[in-house]
Structure 1
């Protein structure tokens, strides 16, 4: 899940593409057993090759877990940033015209938190991403 930070660059990314490219431990074991089952009995695969594959998969799985933990931390950070903006004056870009107002609500969506801003004319603009916030006033 892409996560925006205040003043960050919007980076839309399709999360379904990254989910289809993963292999979990169960899939690896199935592949490993199929390789054992269909190996040439006259030229069996060396045990060192199997151990090397297992070590590679273990390293890959640890890397995947680290990546997931990093994504979770980024999500928590974006949530904290959005909540900290409640009742604060902000300037927002990317809405066609410059916008300034008070953050009155935070909505949590699958693409990250979005804020609602009430401007000086009492109009409420919803769906503002954190990356669109350019200035937070005290």
Structure 2
């Protein structure tokens, strides 16, 4: 997943399972687990340690997924705070053709992160400026 240079995530999925990958949630895992118990061969039952290991692995994966989601949320909040902190500030912008200076007049939040609107010294407004394109912030 690409990450902007000063902290925001881009293209982050909005909810677990919305990315179309082939994963199961906790409820589906429990149903699968119970079905496996119900239909096991009574003459050769599966070892209890194997079931406990499967539960522990699933628990660890769920915790890792939650940690990843929380990290993405923190990065998004950080980028939001940074973008709002640039309102009415003089900035230098690069990466949109010729570098220019201007004042941040608006912040728009999209699925790709915060995008700034910058008014240059001639009064022309440039929209869609990403945080990573800001090279200098002046007081």
For this structure pair, what is the TM-score category when the shorter chain's length is used for normalisation?
0.7 to 0.9
CA offsets 1:68-90 (integer angstroms, 9 cap, x no match) = 11111111100000000001111
CA distance in structure 2 between the aligned counterparts of 1:11 and 1:84, rounded to whole angstroms: 18
Q: TM-score, normalised by structure 2?
A: 0.84
Q: 1:95 maps to what in 2?
A: 96
Aligned length: 136
Task: Report matched runs for 1:93-132 at 5 Å.
Answer: 93-132=94-133
The 8 Å contact of residues 10 and 111 in structure 2, kept in 1 or not, is answered as no
Segment of structure 1 superposing worse, 12-21 or 80-89 = 12-21
Separation in 2, partners of 1:93, 1:54: 51
Cα distance in 1 for residues equivalent to 2:67 and 2:85: 27
1:45-64 matched pairs, under 5 angstroms: 45-64=46-65
Structure 2 equivalent of residue 73 of structure 1: 74
What stretches of structure 1 move > 3 A for 4+ residues in a row?
A: 10-18
Cα-Cα RMSD: 2.5
- How far apart are the structure 2 equivalents of 1:97 and 1:37? 68
Residues 89 and 104 in structure 2, CA contact (< 8 A), matched pair in contact too:
yes
